[in-house]
């Protein structure tokens, strides 16, 4: 249980009861989108011993290049002996690790996934409402243990990954930093929901004037009904406090992100870890032009194989429900499809006049089903988040700001909102700095040797760089792009590394300058090829646009003018 779980408040009266019932309904625990306890570390039924035996030795089989042989020899196991949600989640974790280990665990990627993985993976993915590929849930949410005496998952030093591809401390630390960030952000979820709901209650009543029911929690805004001065003041104060607290919370999340350097070496990450996180979407340069064929066994006639090619995004922090919740609750809107290849955008369209689905919308299908439903629920009932509701308050200002103290309260609310959006943008800027150090810089260094030493002192065969002869994966593809790309491309990435801070912390100037260019950059595209993220995105343009759109959300004039 997280030490930050918020006890019931009395500010919103019976509406707080609805809040307390809302979160469990969507599997949001005291640890936020993490489970309420450490994930299952072993399937109890001995029927699944072949899976458990192989997952424990996965890293060593990848190291000695025998992982595909071992996976091919697995039996095709049924799922009818998985009896709990914890067991089903563990099965999904194991099978997605097998899938990515098989695809990327060789000199060249395998574009056919065998039935011992494909058949149960397709089944368990359908049960859990997840795609049959490794996701943030399998790498992070359901892949950790804790040695902390009170199970405080915010303490990254007490966390350890249950499974990795490389067997290195670097990889475990990479996953666990994200787990700790998720835990740190847990306590802010009910605070923000209550703050938004309390502010929104000024603008909404049911047709009968009765209290909203739990199913109508966070109803859509309606014209104000002349609330009393005390209720108005209390609502504004509650909303302001919640926005002040989100800035504090995001700063704490940023402090955890800053610890990434402590135990995760950039070159180990780039050459050894990152290739296994990649999916099969937009991965032609990494050796998967068609994606991966999910082989479901022989057809009824026995002449062909059942199955199909699939192009799926890989595991990515963009699949974090926490970060998307912060976007939605603040009212940040994202438009980029995130694809690294312009032609990929066209495949998303159902017709010539329809808009492309944004990356942030698409990757919700890569989140656990109930978490995805929670985000959709808040979007549907949240009135555009704090940005939308505050804008409604300002539009109806003549009826709601007659008192001088109340006007000052609104000014505090607006100031707190702008600070909150800026804090989230600064967090994204920190992420950009990590991308520079862990991806951009290593991709430019052409003289990598074939052996990279991890933090644990173990010598590891190189999976990228100039010394990795004949190897094809995301690392070698990225390095090749940097070596062979045109001068403008390399100059742009070099300048990006300097702008995003190869050394030093994020500064206020960084975000202010980004704010000045947010509107002009939004929706822009580059003609030159871009480095691809593990989720298949055009890495730097996508991350910069997400940051700039966050800053743009703080400009309430774009709503009220």
Which amino acids are annotated as binding site for heme b, given as ranges? 431
DSSP-derived pairing of the beta strands 112-113 and 292-298 = parallel
List alpha helices for 258-288, DSSP H. 260-263, 266-268, 274-277
User: Residue 77 contacts by C-beta under 8 Å, 6 or more apart in sequence?
Assistant: 47, 48, 50, 51, 116, 120
Phi, psi of 532, rounded to the nearest 5 degrees? -105, 135
- Give CA angle at 480 (479, 484), nearest 5°: 125
User: Residue 247 contacts by C-beta under 8 Å, 6 or more apart in sequence?
Assistant: 416, 419, 420, 423
Cα–Cα distance between 134 and 95 in angstroms, integer? 9
Contact yes or no for 3/49 (Cβ under 8 A): no
For residue 89, the 8-state DSSP code is: H
Cα–Cα distance between 220 and 80 in angstroms, integer? 43
Contact yes or no for 124/91 (Cβ under 8 A): yes
Cα–Cα distance between 442 and 438 in angstroms, integer? 7
Give the closest residue to 541 by CA, choosing from 522, 558, 556: 522
The SS3 call for residue 483 is helix
Helix axes 229-257, 321-330, angle to 10 degrees: 150
* Cα distances (Å, whole numbers) of residue 456 to 97, 166, 244, 265, 390: 22, 11, 40, 10, 51
The SS3 call for residue 100 is helix
Give the closest residue to 271 by CA, choosing from 466, 110, 500: 466
Cα–Cα distance between 116 and 21 in angstroms, integer? 41
DSSP-derived pairing of the beta strands 144-146 and 159-161 = antiparallel
Cα–Cα distance between 373 and 41 in angstroms, integer? 27
E strand intervals along 354-420: none
3-class secondary structure per residue, 29-41: ECCECCCCCCCCC
Binding site, by residue number, is 431
**Per-position DSSP letters for 105-126, written without gaps between them:** SSSS--SEE-HHHHHHHHHHHH
């Amino acid at each position: 249980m997280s030490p930050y779980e918020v006890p019931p408040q009395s500010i919103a009266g019976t509406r707080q009861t609805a809040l307390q019932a809302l979160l469990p309904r969507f599997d949001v625990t005291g640890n936020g989108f993490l489970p309420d306890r450490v994930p299952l570390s072993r399937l109890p039924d001995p029927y699944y011993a072949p899976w458990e035996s192989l997952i424990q030795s996965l890293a060593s089989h990848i190291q000695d290049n025998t992982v595909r042989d071992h996976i091919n020899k697995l039996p095709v196991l049924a799922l009818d002996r998985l009896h709990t949600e914890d067991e089903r989640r563990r099965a999904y974790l194991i099978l997605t690790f097998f899938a990515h280990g098989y695809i990327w665990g060789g000199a060249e990627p395998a574009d056919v996934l065998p039935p011992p993985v494909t058949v149960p993976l397709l089944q368990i993915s359908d049960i859990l409402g997840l795609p049959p590929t490794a996701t943030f849930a399998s790498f992070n949410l359901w892949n950790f243990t804790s040695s902390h005496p009170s199970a405080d998952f915010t303490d990254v030093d007490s966390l350890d990954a249950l499974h990795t591809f490389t067997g290195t401390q670097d990889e475990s630390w990479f996953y666990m930093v994200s787990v700790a960030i998720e835990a740190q952000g847990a306590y802010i979820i009910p605070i923000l929901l209550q703050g938004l709901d309390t502010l929104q209650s000024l603008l909404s009543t049911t047709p009968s004037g009765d209290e909203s029911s739990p199913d109508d929690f966070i109803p859509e805004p309606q014209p104000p009904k002349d609330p009393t001065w005390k209720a108005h003041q209390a609502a504004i104060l509650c909303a302001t406090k919640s926005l002040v607290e989100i800035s504090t919370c995001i700063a704490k999340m940023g402090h955890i992100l800053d610890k990434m350097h402590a135990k995760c070496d950039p070159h180990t990450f780039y050459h050894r870890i990152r290739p296994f996180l990649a999916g099969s979407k937009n991965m032609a340069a990494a050796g998967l032009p068609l994606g991966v064929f999910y082989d479901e066994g022989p057809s009824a006639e026995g002449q062909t194989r059942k199955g199909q090619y699939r192009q799926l995004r890989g595991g990515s922090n963009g699949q974090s429900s926490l970060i998307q919740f912060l976007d939605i609750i603040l009212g940040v809107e994202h438009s980029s499809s995130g694809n690294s290849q312009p032609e990929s955008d066209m495949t998303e369209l159902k017709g010539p006049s329809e808009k492309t689905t944004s990356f942030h919308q698409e990757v919700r299908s890569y989140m656990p089903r109930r978490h995805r439903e929670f985000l959709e629920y808040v979007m549907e009932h949240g009135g555009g988040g704090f940005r939308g509701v505050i804008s409604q308050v300002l539009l109806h200002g003549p009826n709601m700001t007659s008192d001088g103290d109340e006007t000052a309260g609104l000014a505090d609310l607006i100031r707190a909102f702008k600070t909150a959006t800026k804090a989230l943008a600064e967090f994204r800027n920190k992420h950009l700095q990590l991308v520079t150090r862990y991806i951009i810089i290593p991709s430019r260094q052409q003289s990598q040797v074939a052996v990279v030493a991890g933090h644990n002192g173990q010598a590891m065969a190189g999976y990228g760089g100039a010394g990795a002869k004949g190897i094809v994966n995301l690392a070698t593809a990225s390095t090749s792009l940097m070596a062979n790309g045109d001068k403008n491309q390399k100059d742009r990435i070099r300048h990006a590394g300097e702008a995003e801070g190869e050394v030093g912390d994020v500064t206020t100037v960084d975000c202010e300058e980004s704010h000045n260019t947010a509107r002009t950059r939004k929706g822009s595209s580059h003609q030159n090829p871009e480095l691809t993220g593990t989720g298949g995105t055009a890495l730097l343009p996508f991350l910069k646009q997400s940051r700039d759109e966050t800053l743009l959300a703080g400009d309430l004039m774009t709503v009220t003018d």
